[in-house]
């Protein structure tokens, strides 16, 4: 089996889970049922996108999460001011 893809998180290289079992194991327990549902209902033309989405969600990245949270707050503030 080939080596898993890798990415950088907080200055260190980490493996990206890229199989159904490794993605499920990497997810928090509360997200696993959603993952199973997404995989079970994906059609042949959708499964690649579904797997990519969950691969990325399975990699904890606090810095990226903080940026996303900030952007969502700023967008909510802009919408509230409109």
Average pLDDT over every residue of 18-25: 93
Look up the pTM and report it: 0.69
Residue 41: the pLDDT is: 97
**Is 1 a domain residue?**
no
Give tens-digit pLDDT for 28-54.
999 999 999 999 999 999 999 999 999
**Is 59 a domain residue?**
yes
Are 4 and 17 in contact, with CB atoms under 8 Å apart?
yes
Domain span including residue 20: 6-81
When divided into structural domains, the chain yields a total of 1
**Is 72 a domain residue?**
yes
């Amino acid at each position: 089996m080939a080596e898993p893809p890798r990415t950088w998180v907080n200055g260190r290289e980490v493996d990206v889970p890229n199989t159904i079992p490794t993605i499920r194991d990497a997810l928090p327990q509360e997200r696993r049922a959603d993952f199973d549902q997404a995989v079970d209902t994906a059609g042949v033309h959708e499964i690649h996108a579904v797997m990519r989405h969950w691969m990325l969600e399975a990699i904890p990245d606090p810095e990226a999460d903080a940026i996303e949270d900030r952007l969502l707050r700023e967008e909510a503030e802009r919408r509230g001011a409109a």
